[in-house]
Amino acid sequence: FLIKPEQQMFNQVTASSLMKLDFAGNKLSANPGKISPATMIIHAGILEGRSDLNAVFHTHSTANVALSSLKCGLLPINQHAIRVHYRTGYHAFHGWEFDMDARQKLIDSLGDNLFLVMRNHGAIVCGRTIAEAFVEHHYFEFACRAQIAALSAGGMDQLILPSPDVIEYATSQARKHLAGVTEEGRDWGALMKHARNTFPDFEE
């Protein structure tokens, strides 16, 4: 699998700077970079354990870390959250993901989902392709930010939560819509154009 070196920021990554590793952590490329110990637990563990996936994003944004600390988890309070919530698993905090026995715990928590809220930690978003994982991460982050903003405006008492029947119907709509969407979706082409304009050397 490919992964960026730990010491690189995302906007510094190019195709040639990516490191290639096997699932045991052996380097398969000449890149001198280093990886976080968590790489072998989170990325390698999930990619090896879920053969249907080819991309694993692990992030610690302000919004998803805040959401990971909420007892209520991700609430279906808007259409973006409804698109995501039925495909979201939860993983209890056991400490840093440095121990190899944490691999199976992560895979079990993820189940058949694409999204995993890591309690008191952050989030994992997966995809069959990089395009799918990137676009799904966008929707997940939007849902997290919207929920944190709504809660900050007045707490749980002020939230308008759709009825269970409406949530069930909207979820069925989301399932039907996503079944007809390609892995790249409608946004990936525009995003690649934007990336080439903003970071013209990223494919080198």
The pLDDT tens digits for 148-178 are 999 999 889 999 999 999 999 999 999 998 8
Give the integer Cα–Cα distance in Å for 169 and 30. Answer: 51
Could you list the beta-strand ranges (E) of 55-106: 55-59, 88-91
Decide: helix, strand or coil at residue 14.
coil
The pLDDT mean for the chain works out to 94
Distance from C-alpha of 84 to C-alpha of 184, rounded to nearest angstrom: 17
How confident is the model at residue 31, as a pLDDT? 86
Pick the closest to residue 178 from 88, 84, 55 (CA basis): 84
Residue 71: pLDDT band with limits 50, 70, 90: very high
Q: Region 32-37: what's the mean pLDDT?
A: 89
Q: For 126-160, give the DSSP string.
A: EESSHHHHHHHHHHHHHHHHHHHHHHHTT-GGG--
Q: Is 68 helix (H, G, I), strand (E, B) or coil?
A: helix
Question: In the prediction, which pLDDT does 187 show?
Answer: 86
Q: Give the pLDDT mean for 25-38.
A: 90
pLDDT exceeds 90 at position 179: no
Task: Say whether pLDDT at 185 is over 80.
Answer: no
C-alpha–C-alpha distance, residues 81 and 142, integer Å? 8
> What's the Rg (C-alpha) of the chain?
18
CB within 8 A of 50, min separation 6: which ones? 107, 110, 126
Query: Do 166 and 172 form a contact (C-beta atoms < 8 A)?
Result: no
Bridge-based pairing state of the strands 19-20 and 2-3 = antiparallel
Mean predicted confidence (pLDDT) in 30-36: 88
Q: Which residues contact 178 (CB under 8 A, 6 or more apart)?
A: 83
Residue range 128-153: mean pLDDT, rounded: 96
Q: pTM of the entire structure?
A: 0.93
In tens, the pLDDT along 75-118 reads: 999 999 999 999 999 999 999 888 898 999 999 999 999 999 99
Burial class (CB in 10 A: 0-12, 13-18, 19+), 16: exposed
Q: State yes or no: pLDDT of 186 exceeds 90.
A: no
Tokens at 167, concatenated: 């949530």
Domains of the chain, each with CATH number or no CATH: 58-89+112-189 (3.40.225.10)
